[in-house]
Structure 1
Amino acid sequence: MKTFRFFILSILFCLPMAGWGEYNSPLYLEKTTIYIGDHPLLVEVANTDESRQRGLMFRKKLGENEGMIFIFPNEEYLSFWMKNTLIPLSIGYFSKDKMLVDVYEMAPNQTQVLYHSTRKVLYAVEANPRWFAKRGLGKNSVLKIENRFIGK
């Protein structure tokens, strides 16, 4: 009887893991501090296809000066959307020479609107709503990041 009870409890314990999809599993990314102008931002580095596709999906909060930097292998026109992203975000697009090109305010969990870069870019930075505006960062603000971070 004790063996049967242990077996049932084991199954019940494992049930919540069934269907634990790829987007619910943790994705551990390297963190670094970047600067935009003179303003530091602690970011997770998304520089692979997997990490760029996941982005900040399913996050419930973001620290005041935290975000994510997306680094691509080649300059291209980029479009982001907010599918499965539960928090509002600001996004800044940066050219290969690390100059800010565009900034958008993105609404949470919607797929109707795409946020397009107006030029070819190599980097995108997501942060809390109005992060760029609150710091007076506009076009041509400079991104500072270690050269060892590249898109793959």
Structure 2
Amino acid sequence: MKAGRIVSVFLLLLLVPGHGWGENPPYLEKTTIYVNEHPLVVEIANTDPSRQRGLMFRKKLLDNEGMLFIFPSEDYLTFWMKNTLIPLSIGYFNKDRRLVDTYEMEPNQTKVLYHSTEKVLYALEANKGWFAKHGLGRFAVLKIDSRYIGK
């Protein structure tokens, strides 16, 4: 009986934020992308569960790391920072992979929403200030392998 309880508690802890896979979920593929000539190692969030979880509960993000959200079709997107513990920048890219909007987002903010101003297919999150640090503004080009699609 005790062994069964220990396994149950262990499995439960894996699902609790801050425990187990809260830092780096094992199911997200990583790849290097470029915005213009600036590289960024990103996790690919191209399914509903991975897009919904995003960077929630992460305690850190290295300087040149981020998450690329890929959607199955173009739409107006809105992001928020619920349960997101680190300050982030977000960039929205259209179907032509051109940057249309960027925002600086504060941790665990649930009252401010960050809307794309036009229909987009991609959202890129990186550490706060990443786009500005690299001088990336409207029409910067997202370069990714064409095998990555939204599901």
Q: TM-score, normalised by structure 1?
A: 0.88
3-state SS of the aligned residue for 2:150?
coil
TM-superposed CA distance for 1:9, in Å, is 7.7
Radius of gyration: which is bigger? Answer: 1
Q: Which runs of 5+ in 1 are unaligned?
A: 1-6
* Equivalent residue runs for 1:94-109 within 5 Å: 94-109=93-108
TM-superposed CA distance for 1:110, in Å, is 1.5
Q: What does the per-residue CA deviation read over 1:22-42, in whole Å, with 9 as the maximum and x for residues that have no partner? A: 766633211110000100000
Give RMSD over aligned pairs.
2.0
Residue correspondences, number: 146
Report the Cα distance in structure 1 between the residues aligned to 2:36 and 2:14, rounded to whole angstroms: 40
Question: Does residue 1:141 correspond to 2:135, yes or no?
Answer: no
* Equivalent residue runs for 1:59-98 within 5 Å: 59-98=58-97
Q: What does the per-residue CA deviation read over 1:108-133, in whole Å, with 9 as the maximum and x for residues that have no partner? A: 01210110000000000000010000
Corresponding residue number in structure 2 for 1:131: 130
Q: Which runs of 5+ in 2 are unaligned?
A: none
Runs of 4+ with deviation above 2 angstroms:
7-28
3-state SS of the aligned residue for 1:18?
helix
Paired-residue identity, %: 65
Write the letter of the residue equivalent to 2:41. L
Q: What does the per-residue CA deviation read over 1:61-112, in whole Å, with 9 as the maximum and x for residues that have no partner? A: 0010000000000000000000110101000000000000000000001210
* Equivalent residue runs for 1:4-83 within 5 Å: 11=5, 14-15=8-9, 17-18=11-12, 20-21=14-15, 26=21, 27-28=25-26, 29-83=28-82
Write the letter of the residue equivalent to 2:71. F
Corresponding residue number in structure 2 for 1:4: none
Report the Cα distance in structure 2 between the residues aligned to 1:18 and 1:63, rounded to whole angstroms: 28
Question: Does residue 1:113 correspond to 2:112, yes or no?
Answer: yes
Q: TM-score, normalised by structure 2?
A: 0.89
Report the Cα distance in structure 2 between the residues aligned to 1:74 and 1:41, rounded to whole angstroms: 23
Report the Cα distance in structure 1 between the residues aligned to 2:47 and 2:98, rounded to whole angstroms: 22
